[in-house]
Amino acid sequence: MQGVKADAPHGTWHAKLDEDRTLELELRGRPDPEEAASVWRAVLAAQRRRPRSVVVDAAGLESLDASTLALLLELRRNELSGGPPLEIRGLASELREELERHPPPAELGPEAAAVRPRRAVERLGRVAAGVVREARAQVAFAGELAAG
């Protein structure tokens, strides 16, 4: 897999899947939303290729914003649900404490575990039903305007 590197004024995120199928992430500075989106896409693509392990180099990470926290929690949740082992290297102690204050969804309790992700077909069906409802409402409105 080709690596994804996102450089911005506040930080650098880098993700790549090595030949030995290790997903390597390098997190530096403070990412902006565009960086986070690029790396999330790369991580999701790499996870579909079933990496053997995930290694996060967080030695240069300055803070845990929402996107960074969500990424690390998702990687931990994936590990707990039978995915590849996760190793986070170099994360500053105060950031590690902050990360550990937020359990991944699998650790939230039985009510969180009962919520299953929707499949793509189910989501597509829900979207299509919403489009049909909206179209009916538009046709009804146009009919009322023409009649009245």
Residue 28's closest CA among 13, 39, 43, 6? 13
**What pLDDT score does 11 carry?**
58
Strands 86-89 and 53-61 come out as parallel
Q: Which stretches of the chain drop beneath a pLDDT of 50?
A: 1-2, 4-10, 108-116
- Return contacts of 97-105, CB within 8 angstroms, 24+ apart: 98/64, 98/69, 99/64, 99/69, 99/72, 99/73, 102/69, 102/73, 103/73, 104/73, 104/74, 104/76, 104/77, 104/80, 105/73, 105/77
**What pLDDT score does 112 carry?**
45
* Alpha-carbon distance values, 88 to 56, 101, 111 (Å): 5, 16, 28
Please state the pTM of the whole predicted model: 0.62
Please say whether the beta carbons of 27 and 62 come within 8 A. no
pLDDT tens string 8-46: 444 577 788 888 889 888 888 876 667 777 777 878 887
**What pLDDT score does 55 carry?**
94
**What pLDDT score does 66 carry?**
81
**What pLDDT score does 99 carry?**
87
**What pLDDT score does 49 carry?**
82
**What pLDDT score does 111 carry?**
46
